Amino acid sequence: MSYALAFDISAVEPEEGAPAPDRLISGDPHFLTWNLEEADGGVYAGVWQSTPGKWRILYDEWEYFHVLEGHSIVTEDGGEPVHLTAGDRMILRPGFKGTWEVVETTRKDYVVRL
């Protein structure tokens, strides 16, 4: 059994998605998600991409992500906007409520724990 996993994202079929209509604030964002790993304990890892738009986010899960390209703004309710560009990292914890705005198509890799 190998304890390391290398992957070629071009060999993985992405899932398509979009924000729920009741969360959409502006634009017409479309998501692509390449789920690369699902581990015991509700842990997921992969790559996510969105085209421009803005929507409400409500987190029940814990997520660490690293922005690979693009420009997004994450704003916690009552907080200051956080501009994210290539190389930036963030952790969103369960209970986070706010908005995600994609200014320029954004791609990130992520690890989520449900």
Which bin fits 42, alpha (ψ -120 to 50), beta or left (φ > 0)? left
Q: Is residue 14 pLDDT above 80, yes or no?
A: yes
The CATH number for 60's domain is 2.60.120.10
Residue 2 predicted with pLDDT over 90: no
For residue 94 the two structure tokens come to 């369960």
- Give the residue numbers spanning the domain of 80: 14-113
Instruction: State the average pLDDT over residues 64-70.
Output: 98
Residue 3 within a domain:
no
Tell me how far CA of residue 30 lies from CA of 43, 47, 104, 105, in angstroms. Answer: 24, 14, 12, 10
Structure tokens at 86: 């290539």
Distance CA 66, CA 17 (A): 20
In a domain, 4, yes or no: no
**Number of domains present in the structure of the chain:** 1
Average of pLDDT values for 30-37? Answer: 96
pTM of the prediction?
Answer: 0.93
